[in-house]
Each structure stands twice: as structure tokens, then as C-alpha cells.
Structure 1
């Protein structure tokens, strides 16, 4: 039995005004504000669209994808590439060096040492793992012809992903790849190819995944070899958003509401009329977009106090792993040209809002 703990039925009043904007650079030294991430080391804005930011637990590094050619000195191709920006040093480095188009939303490990991404190789999709320090790329094997949608443990050792076989594929599996030990473990296998995206905890022990056919969410404990679920809302349907990196909370959508379940007690926070996008590593801060389009586009809720802070009042979007620990930083993308001064490239950029 799970006790449902409902928070305010409407979006709470914003408890703090929008911080002032700051230019690209060391945001930690500049204090609260907004920093554009998709820039070259000298601060030059990207000459192409950027999207899909994910952030480390400490907020120092951000991985994103871009078609911009000028973010690094050797950038010449127009296909989509993966970059990592170190907010402390201001250095932007390119992770993906191969020609296949890289899918959006690369994911960075909690410690910032590895970035996982996936792309098309001829007719199949393959996962890749890049080491940030060396910028070297490691191919990630999967048990089928294709693998995609990787989710990384905090140290980058474990990769949860979706594997499929056959052309056309009629089944898929959730699997965990330990690339250091060169082993692959199947968590669950489906007789369909409907959504089944996984989300792995920071220590690699828990894997949340969605059964798109049954519209249920489950959490697998790899240590005890047990499964919790189905996790579903009042509408008896659930869509997975993310498992927090500490494994304490799972976010899912049901109907028009967002549910955050405490994995220890089973209690739930329900955020009505909201679409959850990400949760911070501690499971306390939820990033969501309100169903009411007349207000902010992105809001960060403190699930303990029930208070909200505006991340962006301009059109913007974000995905999983977009919030650093304690809700200090939020990475998002927007094509708005008035979030920071000097945004004249006429395309989408990646930003970080730094709250304190």
C-alpha cells in the first residue's frame, strides 16, 4: 500500500524572482543567474542549433549535442556532435568523433568522467561511451543488433540500455552493460517494441523501466534479483520519467499529473497538471513544465517545502538528468534570444540556471 501525499493542487507561487543573467564563464564565481553553455572556450556563441543538456551531480560539467561547427577548433562537419563544457574552466570539448549522426540528449555520468550517446550505424543504432578526460570513445556492445537510450551509473561503469534484434524488430530487452567487466545482464525482455526506456541508479543497483504495452513502470533490484511494481497512478497507466541517482525516488506521469514515489516508504508526492521532466540526484527537487501555458515554461519544485522557483519564463524545454544535487543548477534548451545578452545566432542554445 502506498500513501499518497498530495502537494498544492495548483502551481505554488514563485518564491524567488528570476535571477539576473550572466555571461558565459565561471558561473560558480558569478553567483545566481543564467549561463549559456553552448559556446566555444572563448565565449563565442555556437553557429548552429544545440540541445539536450544533462548535468553532473555537482553541476560542474554539462553534456549536450549540437550541429555547431565552431565550438571547438577542429569542428568542421555539420552532423550532430556531442560536447562537454566544464563550467569551472570554461573549456568546451568534443566527445563524438565519428561521422554517424548522433541522437540528441547524451547523458553524462554523475561524476562527470563519462558521456554515453547513441547513433545510427548503417541500419542499426549503437551506444557509445566517451571518456571526458581523454576524449576517447568506447563502443558499447549489446546482445542484439541495435542498442539505444543509454542511462549511466554515477561512475559510468554501468550502462542501462534498450537492446533489439531482428529487422524489423518485434521484441526488445532492458539490459545492463558492465563495460569494465565485459558482461551484459538482461533485466527484462518484452515481446513488443513499445517504449521501454530504462533509468539506472547512481550505484548501478536499481533499474527503473517502462512497459509501454502494459503502461506500467517497474524497478528492478539487481542485487536481490527482485522487481517492484507495477507502479501506476489512479488512471492505471504510467510513463517513466526518471529514477533519482540515489535510487530514493522514481518520477512517472499518469494522466495530467506527475507522481514522485519514495522508494523507501512508498509515499507519493503528486504534482497536478504538470509534466515532470527530471529530478535531482537526492530525489528532493523536481523539474517540471506546467500544463498552464500562460506561466513559466520550466519550474523547479522543492518536494519537501512544496515551493516553486522559476527556471525559465521564456519558451524552453529540458529532459532527464537536468538538475544537479540540491537543485542548485538546472540545464535547459531554448531558442529565445533574450535569456542572456548577445544571443544573435537565431537558433536554440543550451543554458544553465544557477540558483545560488
Structure 2
């Protein structure tokens, strides 16, 4: 890297015991097209990959993220009946407003990876194939129009949006002569800041805080984790687990910029940037962290139990998100762990799931 760094040695906090008794959610938030089910883990589950009138999608829906307030869910779907105007064949990006129950198609391109949404739900971005390069397309939800300038003369990928989505977003770009660079692009004024530069093009997984002041990323070849601070213009790291010889893989930076989740071996660590200490969550694969840094969504390594579990890192208690096979990605937990978005092909999470497709669901907790 061309940026100065300082090594962070982790002091492990008390390790949480794995999988304490689960607490099932009470009640469900109702919405058009999905309410609670009679299945054992159906209470509090809502299907959101539906048309405004509740019609289930006629294609597979995956790759969902949710805004901190739980109002907006963005996902990919091959369904063509989610909006009033039928879509074209192939995967497309969609945004559902949980308050109005309106689902919008965000462009007619095929995302190369799941779309991301700004914290306020105002912007959606995703990478797509553009001629012989890759471009990041960013849409303004209110108008449906492209809202940002694509990177020019280079391929760019891996977007991560700030809270308002208008002032800064992180992109990854590369060229045959320069490798890759992680940048913050303030597209409203055309300004750029370089976070880190590498001579390789291995994934760097950039994750930006809601205020744009911190960016977590990894050196893709070494798989070690760093955090960039805008105030100093430097990166701290590498952040590593108990055994520095075991490589670390970045999962996500919390939206408030206080916690970094990463994997090391078979364990998950939640690193506190202020104290420099880390909380060990053993024998699980961390998937996402809520915007406040308190709630960790994880998949147990033991496949005999639930597929997705939400842990309160303060109390050490767990709540089952799904007992059925299910998957989720980063930005899948709303603030305070109130909502968790995921996708599953299970047909008994909500009533009348007869499409035989993978759908996007939200688990609501009180």
C-alpha cells in the first residue's frame, strides 16, 4: 500500500458462549402480500419480493439489503411481474418501499453483484457490464434516472454508499497499468480521495461508514483488514485475530463506523475501533452487523441448527432468523436488530408461497 499504516494488536474481550437459548420473535409487522405463517419459525416473517397487490414473484429473488430504518429493501430478481410495467428477461435490481408497498425497478441492466442502497433509501447502485469494461450505475430512486458519473476509461466495481448517497461512495477500479485503487468519489462536485492503491486486482471488499469518514477494506492478496480514517488520511492495520498467521477476511464496517466484522479461521471477530479490542464469536461465520454495531447476523458452522441467527453482542443472546435454509449478505440488518432481510427457497415461511422460486423475506423482531 502507498498509505501509511499502523499495526493494530487486538486485545480480546470475553468470548461469547456459542449459541445460547434462542428467543423467538413475538408478533409480525404486516404488509401487503406477506404476514405471519403457521410454520414454526413463520411468526414475524414477511415476503417482500412481491408486487404492490401482493402477487408473488414469477422469478428468483436474491441479494437483498435493507436501510437502517427498515423502510427500503433492495434486491435482485428475475421476476418480471413485480412492477406495473413488466420487466425484461434476466436479473434486474429492485427497490421496495415497505411503507408504501411500492416496488420499483432500478434500470434495465443486469447487476454483476447485489445492488446496494444508501442509508436514506434515496439511491441505489450496482456494477454492470459496459462495452468491454465494468461500470457502476447509480440511480436516484425518486426519479429513476442515473444520478452519478460512471468511472471513465477504467473498470470499476464493489460500490458502497454513504447515508445520503449523494456526497460520497466507494468504488474499486483497475487498469492494466495501475492495478486497483479504492476511492471515495464525491460525485456531486467531482472530487475524489484515494483510500488505498494496490498492484493487484484481488477483491478488496470496501465498506464505508454512513458519514463517509471511515472505510474498511482488505489487501486482497494477503487478506488482512485495514481501516482508513478521513481525518488523518491514513489507514490503521492490519487487524487480525488471536493467531496472526491465520488470514483475516473483511465482512463489514458498521454504518456508524465503530465496529469492523471479520473472519479468521472458523471464528468471527467484532473489532471495536475506539478501544482496539475485539469480541470473539467462536465457530460461526459472520454475515452482517447492524448500523449501531450491536447486533451480529451469523451462520453457525454447525449445519444441524438454524441457518441464520441474530446475536446481541451486549447480552450474548441469540434469536433465530431462519430455521430453513437461507442466505443473507452485508447491510441485511436494520438499526437495533429490528429487521433482518434474507432470501430462501423454503415454501413454508409465509402462507401461499406456491411459486417454487427463491424469495426475499424480512424477519421482524420486537
Question: Which category of TM-score, normalised to the shorter sequence, fits these structures?
Answer: over 0.9
Matched, 1:17 2:27: no
Tell me which of 124, 135, 138 is aligned to 1:126. 135
Per the alignment, in what secondary structure is the counterpart of residue 164 of structure 1?
A: strand
Does the 8 Å CA contact 1:21/1:33 hold for their aligned counterparts? yes
Q: 1:141 Cα deviation (Å)?
A: 2.9
TM-score of the two chains, using structure 1 as the length reference: 0.93
Q: Deviations over 1:61-82 (max 9, x none)?
A: 1011111100012123112111
CA distance in 2, matches of 1:26, 1:60: 16
For 1:1-356, list aligned pairs within 5 A: 1-14=9-22, 16-17=23-24, 19=26, 24-25=31-32, 33-97=44-108, 100-142=109-151, 145-157=154-166, 158-166=168-176, 171-236=179-244, 237-356=247-366
CA deviations on 1:203-240 (whole Å, 9 max, x unpaired) are: 00101001121221000012221211011113421100
Contact 1:110/1:202 (8 A) holds in 2 = yes
Distance 2:25 2:324 in 1: 11
User: 1:161 & 1:76 partners in 2: Cα distance?
Assistant: 28
Matched length: 351
Q: How many angstroms apart in 2 are the aligned matches of 1:144 and 1:192?
A: 18
Q: Is the 8 A contact 1:142 1:184 kept in 2?
A: no
Confirm or deny: 8 A CA contact 1:25 1:35 kept in the other structure.
no
CA contact (8 A) 1:27 1:88 kept: no
| Native 8 Å contact 1:26 1:89 kept in 2 | no
Aligned residues of 2:66 and 2:332 also touching (Cα < 8 A)? yes
8 Å CA contact 1:26, 1:88 repeated in 2:
no
- Kindly provide the CA deviation profile for residues 319-343 of structure 1, in whole angstroms up to 9, marking residues without a partner as x: 0000000000000010111111111
1:94–1:180 distance in 2 versus 1, CA, 3 Å: same
| TM-score of the two chains, using structure 2 as the length reference | 0.91
1:277-299 CA-to-partner distances (Å, cap 9, x unmatched) read 11000000000000000000000
Q: Shift of the alpha carbon at 1:24?
A: 4.3
User: Deviations 1:63-119 (Å, cap 9, x if unpaired)?
Assistant: 11111100012123112111111111111111123xx42223111111111111111
- Which 5+ residue runs of structure 2 have no aligned equivalent? 1-8, 36-42
**Offset at residue 57 of structure 1 (A):** 0.7
Q: Distance in 1 between matches of 2:78 and 2:148?
A: 22
What is the CA–CA distance in structure 2 between the aligned matches of 1:234 and 1:45, rounded to whole Å? 47
Closer, same or farther: CA 249–273 of 1 in aligned 2, 3 Å: same
Separation in 1 of the partners of 2:277 and 2:34? 36
State the alpha-carbon separation in 1 of the partners of residues 273 and 33 from structure 2. Answer: 36
Q: Mark the runs of 5 or more structure 1 residues left unpaired by the alignment.
A: none
Q: CA deviation at 1:144?
A: 5.2
SS of 1:326's partner is: helix
Name the structure, 1 or 2, with higher relative contact order (CA <8 Å, separation 6+): 2
RMSD over aligned Cα atoms: 2.2
